Amino acid sequence: MDAQLEKLKFDMNGLIPVIIQDHVNGQVLMMAYMNREAIERTMSSGKVHTYSRSRARLALKGEQSGHFQLVKSVLTDCDRDVLLVKVEQIVAACHEGYRSCFFREHERGAEDWKIIAKKAFEPERVYTTKK
């Protein structure tokens, strides 16, 4: 695995963008960043780990909620500067309660983004501390 990681192109902060996608239906669930350690932990555990830029630390997706992302495959693009991780999503990916973080759609002329999905869970019942 180390030889493969050496071929990835991380940014100046040692991060690479990661798109997380449902392995069955192709729905894009979220976008995050990983550093080398997050990739290594993801590969070894089979659960998605990301690097939280706001908290400046590694994070196991689902560590608070139990809504883990079970890795099915990991791909990189032609430039090797983005990862696509296909997962089995447990419950939902979004901390706001939606299955996907992409639940708002642009609507021409509207004052705000249109919510196009139903919540999969109520965040205040799952998270005890505000993020």
Measure Cα distances from 11 to 70, 71, 87, 90, 108 in Å. 26, 23, 24, 30, 34
pLDDT at res. 128: 74
Mind listing the domains of the chain with CATH numbers? 2-121 (3.10.20.810)
pLDDT value of position 131: 47
Q: Which residues of the chain have pLDDT under 50?
A: 130-131
pTM of the model: 0.92
In this predicted structure, what is the pLDDT of residue 2? Answer: 80
